[in-house]
Amino acid sequence: MSNYFGLTPQLLSLDWGTSSLRAFLMRESNVIETRQSGHGIQHLPSSGTAGYEQAFAEIAGDWVAQWPQLPIVACGMVGSAQGWKEAPYVRCPADMQLLASKSITVQSGLGPDILIAPGVLFDVPDALPDVMRGEEIQIAGALLTNPQWAIRSCMLLPGTHSKWAQIENGRIVRYSTYLTGELFSVLSKHSILGRLMPAEGDSKSESDPAAFELGLATARRSGPGDLSRQIFGTRTLGLAGRLPLASLAEYLSGLLIGHELVSGMAGAGDLTSVPLVMIGAPSLCQRYVHSLKYMGQSADAVLDNTAPAGLWNLAMASGRIA
């Protein structure tokens, strides 16, 4: 095995989602090199197994040729029923050992096989079921960053489908998904609410903290069922001249994030004694930090992408690396 900038890599890890594929060359839980391609599972270069093999060969073929013994692990939608091969959901409570033991393998087409992590299903009587696939590895990465959080913590992963996960004794015991990001996108693009919003590009696109906070304030004082009424405010605040049209999207963003926080905080238990850890893109996390503060809550930590660390954790738990 030759060196790579003087370092011998120990793991090749893949974060393979719906719209993108990222590959990490890792050593000692650190990323040596990152590559990214647009070959998410819905955007493969060809259909079926060949598409996955080709996408993998394009992003990491030279790495595999150089270090043919390098273990390879993957997470995300690549393991879904629509993915390369299904890694069926494991059930809560789920820890690293369970995730590792229920991981499945596929032949990469280049010799070595690839270990793919399962998703996590929450399904108990008298509650709505929930699913995650990929976030469990991000959580595993956060737990590697600070093992104290494994004892007890609340992990918040904002995004298209925001997750609020409760961690106890190293296990994901329960979690909830909020459609926040997708609601914003779908309502802005496809509903009457977008009609008054300046088109992207046309917009000055300046942020309007007051409009965003009006959304947060509206969410904070809401009762059960009020959201679909308050959503209509995105239109009426513009029609009544109470907000500039360029600020309507900020109101909607604040309203939807605010609703997520009101419900998520209520479900997270006593956040004065449980650390709240946020994982996600820095700009989005910043928006959530601001919103949490508005609701009287602080985040104990804000982490950028923890998927590589989580994949390292998976590789250890599965015995792929020592």
CB of 119 to a copy of itself, least distance (A): 10
Distance of CA 206 to the CA centre of its chain: 26
Q: Which is nearer to a copy of itself, 139 or 252 (CB)?
A: 252
Q: Counting contacts by CB under 8 A, is residue 301 touching a copy of itself?
A: no
CA 311 and chain centroid, separation: 14
3-state SS, residue 249: helix
Minimum Å gap between C-beta 189 and a copy of itself is: 7
Q: Coil, strand, or helix at residue 235?
A: helix
Phi, psi of 149 (to 5 degrees): -65, -20
Coil, helix or strand at residue 33: strand
Q: Is 200 near a copy of itself (CB under 8 A)?
A: no
212 binds a copy of itself, rule: CB under 8 A: no
Decide if residue 222 touches a copy of itself (CB under 8 A): yes
Q: Report CA torsion sign: 26, 31, 37, 38.
A: positive
How far from 321 is each of 34, 69, 70, 94, 116, CA to CA, in Å? 19, 11, 9, 21, 15
Side chain identity at residue 69, one-letter code: Q
- How many CA atoms does the CB half-sphere of 180 hold within 13 Å? 26
Amino acid letter, residue 108 = S
Q: Which of 1, 65, 151, 239 binds a copy of itself (CB under 8 A)?
A: 239
List 32, 104, 131, 284, residue binding a copy of itself (CB under 8 A): 131
The per-residue DSSP string of 125-149 comes to TTS--EEESSHHHHHHHHHHH-THH
Q: How far is the CB of 10 from a copy of itself (least distance, A)?
A: 35
CA 216 – CA 261 distance, rounded (Å): 9
Q: How many residues bind a copy of itself (CB under 8 A)?
A: 50
The CB-of-230 to a copy of itself minimum distance in angstroms stands at: 6
Q: With binding defined as CB under 8 A, does residue 264 bind a copy of itself?
A: yes
Residue 22 makes contact with a copy of itself by CB under 8 A: no
Least distance (Å) from a copy of itself to the CB of residue 262? Answer: 4
Tokens of 44: 């493969």
Stretch binding a copy of itself (CB under 8 A), from 23-31, 62-70, 239-247, 272-280: 239-247
x-or-dash pattern for a copy of itself, window 139-168, by CB under 8 A? Answer: ----------------------x-------
Smallest distance, Å, CB 88 to a copy of itself? Answer: 11
**Bridge pairing between strands 120-122 and 130-132:** antiparallel
Q: Which is nearer to a copy of itself, 62 or 123 (CB)?
A: 123
Instruction: Specify the 3-state DSSP secondary structure of 200.
Output: coil
Position among 101, 200, 205, 242 found at the interface with a copy of itself (CB under 8 A): 242
Closest CB to a copy of itself among residues 1, 81:
81
Measuring CA to CA, which residue among 97, 120, 117, 116 is closest to residue 105?
116
The footprint of a copy of itself (CB under 8 A) covers 121, 123, 128-131, 161, 176-180, 182-183, 186-187, 189-193, 218-219, 222-233, 235-237, 239-240, 242, 256, 258-264, 266
